[in-house]
Amino acid sequence: MMRRGLAFVAPAALLMLAIYIVPVLVLAGFSVTDYRLGALDWGFVGTGNFARAFSDPVFLRALANTLIYAAIVIPAGVGLALGVALLVHGTKRTRGFWEVAYFLPVTATLVAMATVWQFLLHPSLGPVNAAIRWLGFEPVSFLADPALLIPTMALMGVWQVLGFNMVLFLAGLTAIPKDLTEAARLDGAKSPIDRFLTVTWPMLGPTTMFVVVTTSISAFKVFEQVAVLTKGRQGSETLLYAIYLEGFEYAETGYAAALTLIFLALVLILSVGQTFKLDRKVHY
């Protein structure tokens, strides 16, 4: 019986070993060396690459930019998606139209859409600045001003995750029994806000936890906007783009491996921390 169980588990275990565990072990091995892509020999440097990372101004700037980006995308992407889901859930005839309209950005290639955003935000040709000029204000260089680069890309990130998060919240709202809402109304929760706070919001706990964790991971993986819109110029670096430059442009494989481990550790700590913290407040 035990052999039969192991036989069923073996394909999934081998697949996980080949796809996840072995690559991480190889990555950890490279991270303690000074290996360069294509080199025939390399040396052991221990924790030197990690020490170099936390004294590297480019990496520290990329880390700060990624944290700022995530701090904007996570609350906005979750909060706006919940608001849109509540509005769409309350509609009857046009619900299908709004679901498709909000979900379309999820199906689009982000590289192509970043090009569209580049046109929309162009200081002289873009319709956004045309509207700003029509209102009597000076054009804004959204993609040239270092102070606006990360907030602008964060706006695109919110636009990207909004539709997917909305669909998840809609699924959660559909699963809430109508009897609970009606019982809350009879017990004195007369206004929609009262019913939302007493019934809807607690019942959406598992969905909200999942949405927050997935949005956080997506926010930390920002890459396409930087690659297309700014080419990683100073002030717009992010963690994944810094790893890409070190590993593929500068061929610093050992150093890029160390940066990747730091990135994975940050995402893991954030995801596990959010899961444990939110799980205590979730009603299943």
In contact, 117 and 156? CB cutoff 8 Å:
yes
Give, as one character, the DSSP assignment of residue 108: S
CA distances from 75 to 49, 70, 188 (A): 33, 9, 31
Q: Is 268 helix (H, G, I), strand (E, B) or coil?
A: helix
CA separation for the pair 262, 59 (Å, rounded): 11
Answer yes or no: is pLDDT of 171 > 80: yes
Please state the rounded mean pLDDT for residues 72-101.
87
Residues of the chain with pLDDT > 70, as a percent, come to: 94
Per-range mean pLDDT, top range of 79-83, 118-122, 182-186, 225-229: 79-83
More confident residue, 204 or 184: 204
CA distances from 208 to 119, 172, 188 (A): 34, 9, 26
CB within 8 Å of 172: residues ≥ 6 apart = 203, 204, 206, 207, 208
Please state the rounded mean pLDDT for residues 106-110.
76
CA distances from 179 to 183, 195, 211 (A): 6, 12, 25
Please state the rounded mean pLDDT for residues 110-129.
82
pLDDT on residue 262: 92
pLDDT on residue 281: 65
Round the average pLDDT of the chain to a whole number and report it.
84
CA distances from 90 to 37, 93, 124, 170, 174 (A): 56, 10, 40, 10, 11
What are the tens digits of pLDDT across the range 39-50? 777 888 888 899
Answer yes or no: is pLDDT of 284 > 60: no
Indicate the pLDDT class of residue 106, thresholds 50, 70 and 90.
confident
In contact, 178 and 233? CB cutoff 8 Å:
no
pLDDT on residue 215: 92
pLDDT on residue 1: 63
Please state the rounded mean pLDDT for residues 184-209.
77
Quote the crossing angle between the two packed helices 95-107 and 57-89, to the nearest 10°.
160
Could you tell me which of 128, 215, 225 has the C-alpha nearest to residue 163?
215
Q: Name the amino acid, one letter, at 9.
A: V
Answer yes or no: is pLDDT of 78 > 90: yes
Answer yes or no: is pLDDT of 160 > 80: yes
Indicate the pLDDT class of residue 230, thresholds 50, 70 and 90.
confident
For the chain, which domains are there? 27-279 (1.10.3720.10)
pLDDT on residue 80: 93
What are the tens digits of pLDDT across the range 200-214? 788 888 888 889 989
pLDDT on residue 282: 64
Answer yes or no: is pLDDT of 75 > 90: yes
C-alpha torsion angle, residues 72, 236, 107, 170 (rounded to 10): -10
Residues of the chain with pLDDT > 90, as a percent, come to: 17
In contact, 148 and 69? CB cutoff 8 Å:
no
Diameter of the chain by CA atoms?
78
More confident residue, 70 or 42: 70
pLDDT on residue 79: 92
